[in-house]
Amino acid sequence: MPSSPAKVLVLGGTTEARALTRLMDAASIGGVLSLAGRVARPAPQSLPMRMGGFGGAEGLAAYIRSEGITHVVDGTHPFAAQMSRNAHAACLETGTPLLALTRAPWVAEAGDNWLLVPDMAGAVAALDRPAARVFLAVGRMHLAEFAAQPQHDYLLRLVDPPEGALPLPKAEAVIDRGPFTEEADLALMQRNGTQLVVSKNAGGSASVAKLRAARRLGVPVVMIDRPALPERAEAHSPEEVLRWLGHVTDLGV
Ligand SMILES: NC(=O)c1ccc[n+]([C@@H]2O[C@H](COP(=O)([O-])OP(=O)(O)OC[C@H]3O[C@@H](n4cnc5c(N)ncnc54)[C@H](OP(=O)(O)O)[C@@H]3O)[C@@H](O)[C@H]2O)c1
């Protein structure tokens, strides 16, 4: 009897997950892309899309069963730790193969001046210093935590315009979405007079530009380390994921 076709659940929200869905579409691998729904207008996607939380690990396990999901690819951002933990638990419970599409963390190079902190609270504590112009590149969800350091002038980069007042007394928001270029980030930081950058150690190419710009300008960076995640199988490129799914990308060879 022929085996039934794969139905892959891709947990997305990253440039890499989007690239994977394009490859899957080209290779006619069936699946669903899941997004949290944090962004008002998600970029166009190649696979059918669903939006919003599943209702914890239990909700995800129920979704996997009811939708007949055969494989789960965790392509979420390295800081989306709750979703990754839920995916791990739900796949264990349902016996569904799980692969994480991950990217290596950024590593300081010659000319970088990084202060390494373990988490967001560490970054807030590191800003306990005289007023400065700070490029706070941590995303929308964590801004309120920095209200504990109201003395700084913050430059924020957000995907969507803020709905209400920003939780920081002195803040300018630039609305833009990656990938970003080094020249544009250099110009942004020069115009702003940025004296300090706060960044999550996301890794990957889409948002590395600000670190290269900081290096060129001699601006120090508070670098936030990644949260700990459960051990799971990992792939480092969308092509590797496709091979795991039992396909080859260079079908002509
Ligand atoms: N954190 C970042 O710095 C960052 C940066 C860029 C992009 N993103 C993307 O933004 C999304 C949310 O990130 P987060 O840090 O808020 O995640 P998180 O803290 O790990 O997740 C919180 C809850 O949001 C829901 N969720 C998260 N990702 C989802 C997905 N892909 N599909 C469906 N539900 C999802 C889940 O709700 P339920 O428990 O109800 O299922 C999850 O428990 C992720 O897709 C991530 O890849 C995050």
Contacts of 142 (CB under 8 A, 6+ apart): 120
- Regarding the beta carbon of 81 and ligand 1, being less than 6 Å apart is answered yes
For residue 5, what pLDDT band results from cuts at 50, 70 and 90? confident
Protein residue with its CA nearest to atom 14 in ligand 1 = 80
pLDDT at 123 over 50: yes
The minimum-distance atom of ligand 1 relative to the CA of 200 is 3
Q: What is the pLDDT of residues 180-195, one digit of tens each?
A: 999 999 999 999 999 9
- Regarding the beta carbon of 82 and ligand 1, being less than 6 Å apart is answered yes
- Regarding the beta carbon of 51 and ligand 1, being less than 6 Å apart is answered no
Q: Given this model, what pLDDT does residue 3 score? A: 63
The minimum-distance atom of ligand 1 relative to the CA of 84 is 20
Phi-psi region of 203 (alpha: psi -120 to 50; beta: other; left: phi over 0): left
Q: What is the pLDDT of residues 72-85, one digit of tens each?
A: 999 999 999 999 99
pLDDT at 2 over 80: no
Q: Given this model, what pLDDT does residue 252 score? A: 38
The minimum-distance atom of ligand 1 relative to the CA of 139 is 3
Q: How far is the CA of 217 from the centre of ligand 1 (A)?
A: 33
pLDDT at 248 over 80: no
Distance, first Cα to last Cα, the chain: 28
Q: Given this model, what pLDDT does residue 208 score? A: 96
Q: How far is the CA of 184 from the centre of ligand 1 (A)?
A: 28
Q: What is the pLDDT of residues 13-49, one digit of tens each?
A: 998 999 999 999 999 999 999 999 988 788 778 899 9
- Regarding the beta carbon of 13 and ligand 1, being less than 6 Å apart is answered yes
Phi and psi, residue 66, nearest 5°: -70, -30
SS (H, E, C) the chain: CCCCCCCEEEECCCHHHHHHHHHHHHCCCCEEEEECCCCCCCCCCCCCEEECCCCHHHHHHHHHHHHCCCEEEECCCCCCHHHHHHHHHHHHHHCCCEEEECCCCCCCCCCCCEEEECCHHHHHHHCCCCCCEEEEECCHHHHHHHHHCCCCEEEEEECCCCCCCCCCCCEEEEECCCCCCHHHHHHHHHHHCCCEEEEECCCCCCCCHHHHHHHHHCCCEEEECCCCCCCCCEECCHHHHHHHCCCCCCCCC
The minimum-distance atom of ligand 1 relative to the CA of 11 is 31
Q: How far is the CA of 73 from the centre of ligand 1 (A)?
A: 14
Protein residue with its CA nearest to atom 6 in ligand 1 = 77
Q: What is the pLDDT of residues 125-171, one digit of tens each?
A: 999 999 999 999 998 999 999 999 999 999 999 999 998 999 999 99
d(CA 89, CA 232): 11
pLDDT at 225 over 80: yes
The length of the chain in residues reads 253
Q: How far is the CA of 248 from the centre of ligand 1 (A)?
A: 29
pLDDT at 177 over 70: yes
The minimum-distance atom of ligand 1 relative to the CA of 82 is 20
pTM over 0.75: yes
Q: Given this model, what pLDDT does residue 253 score? A: 32
